[in-house]
Amino acid sequence: MSHEFNTLELARIYETQGYFQDAFEMYQALATETGTEDGQEMVPEINAGLNRMESAMQNQADPPENDLEPLTGPMPEKRIEYLLEQWLIALVLEKRLKIFKQVKSRF
């Protein structure tokens, strides 16, 4: 997985879509990048995400014996489409927020 775009929003999307390993790697990358003031505010959420992903990956590796139902959900291609759509939405919202902050700082 490319860590070119490390955002908390993308890590959450990976998590909700069941890509626990990718989400875990994204949270790890974010944890190493939190040296800025803004990053320090995200540290508790990043740590919580790391803990959730460790637990989810452990549960995935050791499925309960009585759980015989097949995994349900969209095909991986549909998941990727959805992830891409959500990522693009997050990028647009992030850009709008930056513009809003710039305009707000002028007043």
% the chain with pLDDT above 90? 22
Residue range 49-98, pLDDT digits in tens: 899 998 888 877 665 554 444 444 546 667 788 889 999 999 999 999 99
pTM score above 0.75: no
Q: What share of the chain is helix, strand, coil (3-state, %, to 5)?
A: 75, 0, 25
Domain ranges across the chain: 8-105
What average pLDDT does the segment 15-26 reach? 89
Mean pLDDT of the chain: 79
Query: In 59-88, which positions are buried (b, 16+ CB within 10 angstroms) versus exposed (e)?
Result: eeeeeeeeeeeeeeeeeeeebeeebeebbe
